[in-house]
Amino acid sequence: MEYVNPEGLRLDGRRPMEMRQLRAEIGVVSRADGSASFEMGNTKVIAAVYGPREVQNRSQQMNDQALVRCEYSMANFSTGDRRRKTKGDRRSTEISLVIRQTMEACILTHLMPRSQIDIYVQVLQADGGTRSACINAATLALADAGIPMRDLVTSCSAGYLNSTPLLDLNYLEDSAGGADVTVGILPKLDKVTLLQMDAKLPMDIFENVMQLAVEGCKAVESHIREILLENAQTLVIRQGYGS
């Protein structure tokens, strides 16, 4: 199948190095300490953060740092064919773990000993790149909850099809069987916290693809920062500092 046509356009009309439209909203779950929804094109996820709060399972309590937990789930209506997904299937367990490890790398857990932070992410619409969208939403939700972090983790995926590196794969491109590289970075520290690839790529091509994904992460970061700053400023105004 042709994923990039001779004019250099992809199936959904994007250029190879073009991202889908980003949309983010903060404060979508009223009872959570922090929450956000994040959209990348047709992929839409919602994240809610609870905590730091008392550890539910005493045996897991750590005296020097906070316990970070993450639960990933997909809504039944999120995919094209409606199907009931069992809660603890391999895919969601794996993604939960990935998100948890990524977020743990940026949260300053040592500042909140003997407590736990719960991150719940749910996919409302799945169109490829749910992993990255979940991480971006979780970052926003954590920042909204006022949890101290080293940096904002952002994530983006890139792939390689028809001998072209493609940024931010959608579902069709994702299921084409080519390589799919998901990268999560700490933009200010310039460090990689997540790198996943589910196919083989030659070294030199991989470097290009990864570079592309990192560029994508930086684009996501600038968008996220805009949203956060705007949110912070409205909060300042509402609370009436300086007036």
Interface positions with another protein (CB under 8 A) = 26-27, 30, 33-34, 51-55, 63, 66, 108, 112-115, 143-152, 187-189, 225, 228-229, 231-243
Q: What are phi and psi of 239, to 5 degrees?
A: -75, -15
Cβ at position 120, least distance to another protein in Å = 17
Q: Which is nearer to another protein, 195 or 235 (CB)?
A: 235
For residue 149, give both structure tokens: 């972090």
Q: Which is nearer to another protein, 103 or 179 (CB)?
A: 103
Q: Decide: 10 and 16 in contact? Cβ < 8 Å.
A: yes
Instruction: Give the separation between CA 179 and CA 144, rounded to whole angstroms.
Output: 34
Q: 158, 149, 138, 160: which is closest to 50 by C-alpha?
A: 138
Cβ at position 229, least distance to another protein in Å = 5
Q: Decide: 194 and 102 in contact? Cβ < 8 Å.
A: yes
Cβ at position 238, least distance to another protein in Å = 4
Q: Which is nearer to another protein, 53 or 91 (CB)?
A: 53
Compute the C-alpha angle 107/195/33, nearest 5°.
30
Q: Which is nearer to another protein, 145 or 197 (CB)?
A: 145
Cβ at position 57, least distance to another protein in Å = 14
